[in-house]
Amino acid sequence: MKEYAFSETFYSIQGEGFYTGVPSVWLRFFLCNLQCDGFGQDDPTNPETYQLPYKDFDPIDVKNVTDLPVWEKGCDSSYSWSKKFKHLQKKQTPEEIVETLRREMVNAYNPGGDFNHPVSRASTHLVYTGGESLMKHAQEAAVEINSVYKSKGNHERPWNTTWETNGTQPLTDQFTRTFGNRGLYSGELFFFLVVLSYLLYREKSLRRLYAQMLFPNTMILVRQCAKGQRHQQLLLDS
């Protein structure tokens, strides 16, 4: 079975976007189509003044991405796309990735590594990041990972997923068929739900519940980055 390259997996609290504050498990794909060197630079408008410490770093003795320093200038995820860190990438089949993500969630109160926490009943959020999480191979991987999850019990699979993306990649037919609007709602019902949602959205405590009812599975978070910014509209318009 096909293997997909990724830099790391980890379990933490989401710190940005709609699911801020929600326990989440991440899969960081390897590869990005951009190279955003402008972050943290004294003059982001002048590439000639850029300092890029990741370029000077020698990773030859590094065995794991968690042993790398955090670079304050340039892309802080350069280890997930720069060729010099290629030896740190991992390759796994979709089944193995699902198992790796499960293991990330295991702790004393969640010994099975379930997405639905056995004590709090809270649903852990799944995040695809990168690199670029919507490169063609990453979209294919997400589709296959999703089909592995479909064969699992409700407590073992994610109920909400975010792709953290630079917004430049066209979505494949296979991806939109799997994660896109499945046509669950007729026009009238959709209109009714939109109006109802707007009214309820103003009630803060019900926002997340209703957003999840309308859009239960997927969210694409377009991340701000120096070069990606001008491409965002491409994805939003598609």
What is the rounded CA–CA span in Å between residue 189 and residue 191?
Answer: 5
| Between 161 and 166, CB nearer to ligand SF4 | 166
Min dist CB 77 to ligand SF4, Å, is 4
Site for ligand SF4 in 172-231 (CB under 6 A): 225, 228
Question: Among positive and negative, which fits the CA dihedral 231, 234, 237, 238?
Answer: negative
Q: Among 131, 162, 220, 235, indicate the residue that binds ligand SF4 (CB under 6 A).
A: 131
| Between 92 and 129, CB nearer to ligand SF4 | 129
Residues 6+ apart with CB under 8 A from 179: 142, 143, 146, 161, 217, 218
| Between 89 and 166, CB nearer to ligand SF4 | 166
What value, to the nearest 5°, has the Cα angle with vertex 19 and ends 16 and 24? 95
Q: Please name which of 210, 208, 212, 149 lies closest in space to residue 178, comparing C-alpha atoms.
A: 149
Q: Tell me if 145 contacts ligand SF4 by CB under 6 A.
A: no
Min dist CB 71 to ligand SF4, Å, is 11
What value, to the nearest 5°, has the Cα angle with vertex 207 and ends 184 and 163? 65
Strand partners, 6: 29, 90
Tokens of 199: 């009214």
Q: Tell me if 158 contacts ligand SF4 by CB under 6 A.
A: no
Min dist CB 75 to ligand SF4, Å, is 3
Residue with token string 């670079």? 71
Give φ, ψ of 7 to 5 degrees: -90, -40
Min dist CB 69 to ligand SF4, Å, is 16
Q: Tell me if 166 contacts ligand SF4 by CB under 6 A.
A: yes
Q: Tell me if 36 contacts ligand SF4 by CB under 6 A.
A: yes
Stretch that binds ligand SF4, among 73-81, 91-99, 100-108, 206-214 (CB under 6 A): 73-81
| Between 39 and 185, CB nearer to ligand SF4 | 39
Residue 6, classified by CB atoms within 10 Å of its CB into exposed (0-12), middle (13-18) or buried (19+), is buried
Site for ligand SF4 in 16-35 (CB under 6 A): 32, 34-35
What is the rounded CA–CA span in Å between residue 235 and residue 138?
Answer: 16
Min dist CB 226 to ligand SF4, Å, is 7
- 228 Ramachandran zone, left/alpha/beta (phi>0; psi -120 to 50): alpha
Stretch that binds ligand SF4, among 7-15, 21-29, 125-133, 155-163 (CB under 6 A): 125-133
| Between 94 and 228, CB nearer to ligand SF4 | 228
Residues at the contact surface with ligand SF4, assessed by CB under 6 A: 32, 34-36, 75, 77, 81, 130-132, 166, 225, 228
